[in-house]
């Protein structure tokens, strides 16, 4: 059965839906205020670049070398050094107030740094924060290397031969995590907004009894579905543009792609996430359950499994397989590319195909589950 679509009915339904959106302060709250608040929280709250990590220093020796190395550590732009006793520092480490400590042996200056010997100090990190622990290790090691070379030069020794590494971050020369976390966050925000907007709309029609009256009119299934998508699509695109605008002009994240590509990718993604919300709403027909399902299906998976913070390739194969089912994953890479690299079609193209597939899947399933009858 493929009934012709009546433009008049469609327009009337869309107008009704839009009026409801405009009258309900909460939908505007969700689509404009919430994204901005979320963007601020993501933009400032989610920062993986440890600008200055607090590290404790336990000096059991106050010889010249020990003090020399201590000032080297203190001078590191990445470390914020506090000096204290081993007991005090241990307590702070347990408390999470410092993320690592350097314990200088009492014979630090004596031992010197003769060839082949072990370093006369120990680095202890807070393993409960593995990412930061890695950084502590790298930064202390860097400081140690620099100090060693300097000391060798000061004493006229030959410094050990070294391969110099010249690292360059493309697209993001200062390696700010913000620059890729914010485009990723916009994805999470849009997932949540899309699912939140639509997850309650069909359930609401059922709970308020308007569904039965609508079903008894000549309205076609396609018209009903479209009226549940188009206005929310417009709202979603608006919040996408608000987010991107705020990211560029307020948070100063560079944007290198084109508006056309952004709209194209954004549309494909929105259809998939709106579709997911509609499916939840259609299946549950009850707001209490729809709300819980949407929260569980949208926010946490998008946060954890989209590859926006956590590296997809590091996940075990079965988890990677699961991430392939999450549309947000593909929009994350598109957004990161659009923001930092530009219209890289080798990335965008395959993402576009997958997002479209996801949209077709969710909307198709919703259409299949939408009945014109009550039994």
Partner 1 sequence: MGVAELSPAMASGAIAQLRNIQKTFGKGEKPALAELTADVFGGRITGLVGPDGAGKTTLIRLLAGLMAPSSGTITVDGSDPIADADRVRSIVGYMPQKFGLYEDLTVAENLDLYADLRNVTGQYRKETFHRLLQFTDLAQFTGRPAGKLSGGMKQKLGLACTLLGKPKVLLLDEASVGVDPISRRELWRMVQALVSEGMAVLWSTSYLDEAELCADVLLLNEGRLLFNGPPKELTDRVKDRCRLVRGIGGSRRQVLARALRLPEVLDGVIQGSNIRLLLRNAAREPSPADLNAGPEAQWTSGPPRFEDGFIDILGGGPGGHSVLAEHLPVVPHAGEVVIEARELTRKFGSFTAADHVHFQVRGGEIFGLLGPNGAGKSTTFKMMCGLLVPTSGLATVMGIDLKQSASEARQKIGYMAQKFSLYGSLTVGQNLQFFAGIYGLNGARKREAIEQMIAVFSFGPLIQTKADELPLGFKQRLALACAVMHEPPLLFLDEPTSGVDPVTRREFWTHINGAVEKGVTVMVTTHFMDEAEYCDRIGLVYRGKLIATGTPDALKKMAARPGLEEPTMEDAFIELVGRHPD
Partner 2 sequence: MFRRILPLVIKELQMLLGDPGGRRLLIMPVVLQLLLFPAAATLEVKNNVLAVLNQDSGAASVELIQRFSLAQAFSKVLRVEGQAGLTAAIEGQEALLAVVFPPDFSRHLETGLNPSIQVILDGRRSNSGQIALGYVNHILETYQRERADAGTAPKPVPIAVRHWFNPNLTYHWFVLPSLVATITTASTLIVTSLSLAREREHGTFDQLLVSPLTPELIMIGKAIPAMLVGTVQGTIILLAGIFIYGVPFQGSAFLLYASMFFYLLALVGFGLFISSICATQQQAFLGVFCFMMPAVLLSGFSAPIENMPEWLQLITWADPLRHFIVIVKGVFLKDMGAMQVAEHTLPLLAIAAATITAAAISFRRRLA
Q: How far is the CB of 372 from partner 1 (least distance, A)?
A: 6
Q: Which residue has 């309650």 as its token pair? A: 200
Residues 56-75 that bind partner 2 (CB under 8 A): none
Q: Is there binding between residue 8 and partner 1 (CB under 8 A)?
A: yes
Q: Which of 123, 211, 264, 367 binds partner 1 (CB under 8 A)?
A: 211
- Choose among partner 1, partner 2, none what residue 20 binds, the Cβ cut-off being 5 to 8 Å by kind: partner 1
- Choose among partner 1, partner 2, none what residue 372 binds, the Cβ cut-off being 5 to 8 Å by kind: partner 1
Q: Is there binding between residue 359 and partner 2 (CB under 8 A)?
A: no
Residue 134 and residue 140: Cα distance in Å, rounded?
10
Residues present in the chain in total: 375
Residue 337 and residue 322: Cα distance in Å, rounded?
22
- CA 175, 180, 185: angle at the middle one, nearest 5? 150
Q: Is there binding between residue 127 and partner 1 (CB under 8 A)?
A: no
Q: How far is the CB of 237 from partner 1 (least distance, A)?
A: 23
DSSP conformation class of 313: G
342: which residues sit within 8 A by CB, 6+ positions away? 256, 257, 258
Q: Which of 196, 202, 229, 270 binds partner 2 (CB under 8 A)?
A: 196
Q: How far is the CB of 161 from partner 2 (least distance, A)?
A: 6
Q: How far is the CB of 267 from partner 2 (least distance, A)?
A: 22
H or E stretch at 8 = helix 7-23
Instruction: State how far Cα 114 lies from the chain centre.
Output: 47
Give the tokens for residue 322: 């699961």
Range in contact with partner 1 (rule: CB under 8 A) among 75-83, 158-166, 203-211, 330-338: 203-211
Residue burial 339-375, b: 16+ Cβ < 10 Å; e: rest: bbeebbeebbeebbebbbebbebbbebbbeebeeeee
Question: Could you give the string, one character per residue 145-184, with x where binding to partner 1 holds by CB under 8 A and - elsewhere?
Answer: ----------------------------------------
Q: How far is the CB of 166 from partner 2 (least distance, A)?
A: 5
By C-beta, is 164 or 375 nearer to partner 2? 164
Q: Is there binding between residue 36 and partner 2 (CB under 8 A)?
A: no
Q: Which of 175, 174, 180, 337 is nearest to 256 (CA)?
A: 337
Q: Which residue has 């988890």 as its token pair? A: 319
- Choose among partner 1, partner 2, none what residue 38 binds, the Cβ cut-off being 5 to 8 Å by kind: partner 2
Q: Which of 331, 363, 326, 323 is nearest to 350 (CA)?
A: 331
DSSP 255-269: --S-HHHHHHHHHHH
Determine the size of the site formed for partner 2 (CB under 8 A): 113
By C-beta, is 185 or 267 nearer to partner 2? 185
Q: Which of 65, 126, 205, 351 binds partner 1 (CB under 8 A)?
A: 205
Give the residues lining the site for partner 1 (CB under 8 A): 3, 6, 8-9, 11-13, 15-16, 19-20, 23-24, 205, 208-219, 372-375
């Amino acid at each position: 059965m493929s009934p012709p679509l009546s433009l008049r009915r469609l327009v009337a339904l869309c107008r009704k839906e839009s009026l409801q959106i405009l009258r309900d302060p909460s939908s505007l709250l969700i689509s404009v205020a919430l994204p901005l608040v979320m963007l601020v929280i993501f933009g400032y709250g989610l920062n993986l670049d440890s600008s200055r990590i607090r590290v404790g220093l336990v000096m059991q020796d106050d010889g010249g070398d020990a003090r020399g190395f201590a000032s080297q550590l203190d001078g590191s732009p990445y470390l914020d050094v506090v000096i204290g006793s081993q007991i005090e520092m241990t307590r702070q480490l347990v408390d999470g107030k410092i993320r690592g400590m350097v314990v200088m042996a009492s014979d630090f200056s004596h031992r010197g740094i003769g060839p082949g010997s072990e370093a006369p100090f120990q680095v202890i990190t807070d393993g409960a924060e593995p990412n930061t622990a890695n950084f502590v290790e790298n930064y202390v090691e860097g400081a140690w290397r620099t100090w060693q070379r300097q000391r060798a030069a000061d004493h006229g020794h030959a410094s050990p031969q070294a391969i110099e590494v010249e690292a360059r971050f493309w697209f993001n020369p200062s390696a700010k995590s913000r620059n890729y976390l914010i485009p990723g966050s916009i994805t999470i925000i849009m997932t949540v907004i899309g699912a939140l907007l639509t997850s309650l709309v069909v359930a609401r029609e059922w709970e308020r009894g308007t569904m039965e009256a609508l079903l008894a009119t000549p309205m076609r299934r396609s018209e009903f579905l479209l009226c549940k998508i188009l206005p929310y699509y417009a709202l979603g695109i608006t919040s996408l543009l608000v987010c991107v605008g705020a990211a560029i002009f307020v948070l100063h994240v560079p944007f290198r792609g084109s508006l056309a590509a952004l709209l194209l990718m954004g549309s494909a993604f929105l259809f998939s996430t709106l579709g997911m919300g509609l499916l939840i709403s259609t299946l549950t027909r009850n707001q209490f359950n729809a709300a819980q399902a949407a929260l569980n299906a949208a926010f946490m998976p998008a946060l954890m499994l989209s590859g926006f913070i956590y590296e997809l390739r590091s996940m075990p194969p079965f988890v990677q397989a699961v991430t392939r089912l999450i549309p947000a994953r593909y929009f994350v890479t598109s957004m990161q590319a659009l923001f930092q690299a530009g219209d890289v079609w080798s990335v965008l193209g395959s993402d576009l195909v997958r997002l479209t597939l996801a949209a077709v899947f969710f909307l198709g399933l919703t259409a299949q589950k939408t009945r014109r009858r009550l039994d």
